[in-house]
């Protein structure tokens, strides 16, 4: 499992406004290039973001599904990384004196990618997720 954390000078409300806006997903998730649709129950469990990964003309259509959602505290997602497999990503947010702290964890759950040793997977996931949190931070702080 890969874990990243970030201090954000914005409220949990501002962070979750970005996290739960399915149409902004491609603006902060590294690898997502466009959003095709967002199911109405999003961010509630079972809701999907239909997105594409890659660059035109080599786009792969994929989905991200909400598994658990606790407003202003936690969002757990199932990500599909075709053809590599599936993973789970969790965002946990804690209020601090000057904003909030966000912890992002990601782990592979199925497919060929899940066969990688944890240390090897972390070599790819850790820098990618650090950039994802940097983008999320910029968007949340812009809102506050």
Q: pTM value?
A: 0.94
Q: What is the pLDDT of residue 133?
A: 98
**pLDDT of 83-123, one tens digit each?**
778 999 999 999 999 999 999 999 999 988 888 888 888 99
Of 3, 24, 4, 14, nearest to 143 by C-alpha is: 14
Q: How far apart are the first and last CA of the chain?
A: 31
Output the pLDDT for position 50: 97
Q: Is the pLDDT of residue 134 over 90?
A: yes
pLDDT of amino acid 43 = 98
**Which strands form 74-81's sheet, in the order they lie side by side?**
2-8, 99-110, 85-96, 74-81, 58-70, 48-55, 32-38
The predicted-structure confidence for 8-42, as pLDDT tens digits, reads as follows: 999 999 999 999 999 999 999 998 999 999 998 99
| Rg, the chain, Cα only | 15
Q: What is the mean pLDDT of residues 129-138?
A: 98
Domains of the chain: 2-20+64-143 (3.30.530.20)
CA distance 69 to 46: 10
């Amino acid at each position: 499992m890969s874990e990243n954390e970030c201090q954000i000078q914005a409220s949990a409300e501002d962070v979750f406004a970005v996290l739960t806006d399915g149409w902004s997903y491609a603006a902060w998730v590294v690898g997502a290039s466009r959003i095709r649709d967002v199911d109405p129950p999003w961010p509630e469990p079972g809701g999907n973001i239909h997105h594409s990964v890659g660059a035109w003309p080599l786009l792969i259509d994929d989905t991200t599904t909400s598994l658990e959602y606790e407003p202003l505290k936690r969002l757990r997602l199932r990500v599909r990384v075709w053809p590599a497999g599936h993973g789970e990503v969790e965002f946990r947010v804690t209020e601090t004196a000057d904003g909030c702290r966000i912890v992002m964890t990601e782990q592979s759950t199925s497919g060929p990618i899940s066969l990688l040793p944890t240390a090897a997977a972390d070599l790819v996931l850790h820098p990618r997720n650090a950039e994802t949190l940097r983008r999320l931070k910029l968007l949340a702080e812009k809102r506050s």
